[in-house]
Amino acid sequence: MFDVYDLQSRLVEAAWPSGFEASQAKLLARLAEPYADEIRTDALGNVIVRRKGEGTKIAIPAHMDVLGLIVTDIDKDGYIRFDTIGGISSLTLLSTPFVFEDGSLAAVRAEAARIAKADNIEDFSDKRDMYADVGALGKETTERRIRPGMVAKYATHTVKLAGGKIISTPYADDLICCVSLLLALENLRDAKPENDLYFIFTAQEEVGTRGARAAAYHLEPDVCIVADVCDAIDSLSAEYPIGNKIGEGPAIKLRDGGSLSHRVIVDHLVRAAEENGIPYQFDPMVYGGTDATAMQHARGVVLSSGVSIPTRDIHSPYETVSADDVVQAGKLIAAAAQRKLEI
């Protein structure tokens, strides 16, 4: 049986940022293969796992790409200038540890002259005032290891809290939902789904939902049930009291920043949860988008909703989730996937 902590740890270890997902794609394909009727990886890097059925064609995406840095230049002193891949705030960047492709560890710093002039953290919104230090001893020394175009990811690791009930990890967004998809596939091992199912580990979500858009264009699904994280209101960093609590079950998506969930799909998820005794909440995401947006707009109309995992401190080096919410999300996805859906 799959274990949430073990899977998340392995995926974090394999993961690299958007556009560089080959390692996690290979791992996910290997983990999903025993549960697939068909499995393939497309040219953009999406891993598509099919469970054949005669009914409604349902796409179930969770993105496997993560946030990171990309090297843009190495200055005369050997410090690394960079841009971000995906949305990492300046506050998160400063002093956060990263690891580059060659294994070099680095921390992001701000120029001393800029610090002296700053009144507050908002003055560091320009990444040109920041650099990554890998122990620079000059440009030539750094260039022996690092070159423009190389990427880096958070150098933090997955840990258990509260006796294992809570997991704090980099890249819960969205690797923890990839874990839920694997759990759903495991739950469906001996089932004969009423619907034609496509579990999709998508590429390049953090830079514009590109993988989901390409997959939806090719597959032409009738329905999208996206798996992604949502803000937990029990976090002190939550700006507005709109969201969910970790440990109280997965959340059924009502909307996100780019799509409105279809009532038929929302009701289908609610019924699947209630028929199987699965606790649930509702996800009224106000800001940010998901793969549901890309799929909803592809070719014809794709009816969408989703299953979200409440998460504290999204896009930080340590995001926090409930292991039980992850397990219940896998059960809900499996229950909704095999329950007959007529649209």
Long-range contacts of range 158-165, CB-CB < 8 Å, 24 or more positions apart? 158/5, 158/8, 158/9, 158/12, 160/5, 161/320, 164/5, 164/323, 165/247, 165/322, 165/323, 165/324
The dihedral of CA 267, 341, 31, 50: what is its sign? negative
Q: Are 337 and 258 in contact (CB under 8 A)?
A: no
Mark whether 205 is an active-site residue: yes
Q: Could you report how far apart the first and last alpha carbons of the chain are, in Å?
A: 34
CA distances to 104, 137, 294 from 94, rounded to whole Å, are 18, 21, 32
Picking from 16, 316, 20, the residue whose alpha carbon sits closest to that of residue 168 is 316
Q: For the beta carbon of residue 111, count every other beta carbon within 10 angstroms.
A: 14
Number of residues that this document lists for the chain: 343
Quote the tokens at residue 292.
Answer: 């549901």
Active-site residue among 122, 140, 205, 275? 205
Q: For the beta carbon of residue 91, count every other beta carbon within 10 angstroms.
A: 13
> φ and ψ at 121, to 5 degrees?
-65, -30
State the pairing for strand pair 57-63/196-202.
parallel
Cα(191)–Cα(189) distance, integer angstroms? 6
Catalytic residues: 205
